[in-house]
Chain A
Amino acid sequence: MDVTFRIRRQNPDVPGQERPYWQEFSLADVDPTDRVLEMLHRIKWEQDGSLSLRRSCAHGVCGSDAMRINGVNRLACKILVRDVGEKIQVEPILGLPVVKDLIVDMEPFFDHYKQVMPFFVNNDPLPEDGRERLQTQEDREKFDDTTKCILCACCTTSCPSFWANGHYVGPAAIVGAHRFIFDTRDQAGQERLDILSEPNGVWRCRTIFNCTPACPRDIEVTKAIGEVKLAIRKGTNVGIIQTSAIH
């Protein structure tokens, strides 16, 4: 099949390309099961070497090729041509400064992530046997979903609250916080709840639900944000999430 790509391009270093513009590319011999990322490679390698995009593993694990594809945030390496059709529109994710073409500056995104202390805090001495800190399967289940985040920014840059206000900590950082807030072995849960109770913390979430379908890892993002809100409201991370999972 033949496919037409329409790509949003911008290059601050080249006169005449400082402002974003659309460029079209045609590709022949495209298989419906080809990934969009491979097609972008073909354009870059066969037609226009100046096209810039970011990708590393190309298998949906590293999270570096998030883009807005046909109007929705996706990983280019996880979406197939047959999922989006013969006319494919690709543009950078929104809300972060564009560096060049499809590459955005991820630093503001990671700054927000760092704000929520996304690391394990436990100052107690290690258990006697010197091995792991144990927890029940039910307790592990509470934050299982939010361990899956790959920090691709699909959720945060699908959020109208984040588009409007770059100070808003955003869904991804809240997911990152959720992973530790509801970990019974962690001891900095309250501190994270205080951070997220700021005006630009969870309260900027308007329960719009754009983030949940945007997640390439199928994390229940809005639900996780909701659980953090309830934990802040009740002043504790205990008793917010009920699990019955026994594997």
Chain B
Amino acid sequence: MTSLVLTVRETLRYRGAIGQWSWVLHRLTGVGVALFLALHVIDTSWAVFYPALYVKAIAAYQSPLFTIGEFGLVFAVVYHAFNGIRIAIFDYKPELWRHQAQAAVAVLVLTLLVLAPVFLGMASHVVDFYFTEAAIAGEKMFDVVVFSILEQLPFIAGFVAVLAAAIVLAAVYSLIRGEGGQRGKYPEASGIERFWWSFMRLSGILIVPLVFGHLALMHVVQGVFDITAAQEVAGTMSSNGTIGAAPSAVEFVYHRWSYAAGGVFIWRVYDLFLLVLVTLHGFNGLRYVLTDYTSFNDFARRTSVALCTVMAAVLLAVGAAALFVPLEKDIIDEAMAATAEIYELRGEELPAELEAYLSEDV
């Protein structure tokens, strides 16, 4: 902790140039996106494994607090992407270093240029939601959020379990390896850091088009509010038919992942690439950040490494499982019941179609 406190305090005091502030922003946005990624992969996998929980998670995402968070997330991704390209350029072409400060300014300008239309698009979804689609009283919305978060306590329990696993792994590893191994003549040199350095830059560049496509589709063309309102799923050409008149969040996911073009589930393939690249990039980045501030203590450093490894492994396993599992129609039935609960919490009347669907089911 002392290392982190000292670095934060002195970074604020040291009058570094724009490169220093780019680094600060790169770190903050990177950690923010990585933490969101953990939430996002696990929540989305619930669409397949615990449909009712997914419906409630989406209801929480539709609350004002998360809306603000969504704007922050999109800023973070866009800035991190452009600044990452800047870093990769100067890492591979160090002789261009004199242009790095201009490039840092260009990154900021480019970020703002891209964000202006994107934020307008996102804001239009927010406006639609509050003024035309749903008229939810403020205190009701609060109930929905509290309820949704309580329902998702298993997520926090899972996180605690991962943390515990990391501490145990680090302890076991420390018993085997003993202390030390920090300084002296390259005890840990194995080319592994060289691999990760190249991987971060290559994966970063591959991720940019993938994640921009994902953001465009899920935050601009159709936002989180459309998940429970849209009659069609963008990017599926409606070939699987339109969503029912009382759409649930799960149905949206179901249609996207069921869409096959030429016999290939293209969105599952797309999401799989995104999952693998982003998880490895994100959690190796988190490892960089954590080990920077824990290297004064072997055990703390190993716990950080184990934490990132376990989290990445869990996300890859859960995410891949959700992508590979054959989708059954009955997840939609489960989701419908949960959707009805959300309607009740919001104090809205159940749409006739949903009521009909539920009574039919019973």
Interface residues of A (CB under 8 A from B): 68, 70-72, 94, 115, 158, 160-161, 163-168, 194-195, 197-201, 203-204, 206-210, 212-213, 220, 222-227, 229-230, 232-233
Q: Which residues of B contact A166 (CB under 8 A)?
A: 295-296
Q: Nearest 4 pairs between A and B by C-beta? A: A226-B94, A209-B19, A71-B15, A165-B295
Q: Using CB atoms, name the residue of chain A closest to B3.
A: A164
Is B292 touching A71 in the complex (CB atoms < 8 A)? Answer: no
Against A, the Cβ 8 Å flags (1 = close, 0 = not) of B51-63 are 0000000000000
Sample of 17 A–B contacts (CB below 8 Å): A158-B14, A160-B10, A160-B11, A161-B292, A164-B293, A165-B291, A194-B189, A197-B191, A198-B186, A200-B182, A210-B20, A222-B90, A223-B94, A223-B95, A224-B94, A226-B97, A230-B94
Q: Which residues of B contact A115 (CB under 8 A)?
A: 183, 185
Bound Cα distance from A198 to B190, whole angstroms? 8
Is A197 touching B193 in the complex (CB atoms < 8 A)? Answer: yes
Is B87 touching A68 in the complex (CB atoms < 8 A)? Answer: no
Residue B131, interface by CB 8 Å: no
- A-B contact count, CB below 8 Å? 127
- Chain B residues touching A, range: 35 or more
Q: Which residues of A contact B87 (CB under 8 A)?
A: 206-207
Would you give the shortest CB distance from A23 to chain B, in whole angstroms?
A: 18
Since A195-B189, A206-B23, A233-B198 are in contact, a sample of 11 more A-B pairs with Cβ atoms closer than 8 Å, ordered by chain A residue number, is A163-B3, A165-B296, A194-B189, A197-B186, A197-B193, A198-B188, A198-B189, A201-B186, A207-B87, A222-B90, A232-B194
Q: Using CB atoms, name the residue of chain A closest to B100.
A: A209
Bound Cα distance from A200 to B181, whole angstroms? 11
Bound Cα distance from A201 to B185, whole angstroms? 11
Q: Which residues of B contact A229 (CB under 8 A)?
A: 91, 94, 197
Residue B6, interface by CB 8 Å: yes
Is A72 touching B94 in the complex (CB atoms < 8 A)? Answer: no
Q: Which residues of B contact A230 (CB under 8 A)?
A: 92, 94
Q: Is the interface of B mostly helix, strand, loop or mixed?
A: helix
Residue B108, interface by CB 8 Å: no
Is A199 touching B193 in the complex (CB atoms < 8 A)? Answer: yes
Is A209 touching B20 in the complex (CB atoms < 8 A)? Answer: yes
Q: Which residues of B contact A198 (CB under 8 A)?
A: 186-189, 193
Would you give the shortest CB distance from A71 to chain B, in whole angstroms?
A: 3
* A160-B91 contact, Cβ under 8 Å, with A197-B193, A209-B17: no
Q: Using CB atoms, name the residue of chain B closest to A165.
A: B295
Bound Cα distance from A222 to B10, whole angstroms? 20
Residue B7, interface by CB 8 Å: yes
* A209-B295 contact, Cβ under 8 Å, with A158-B14, A194-B186: no
Would you give the shortest CB distance from B179 to chain A, in whole angstroms?
A: 14
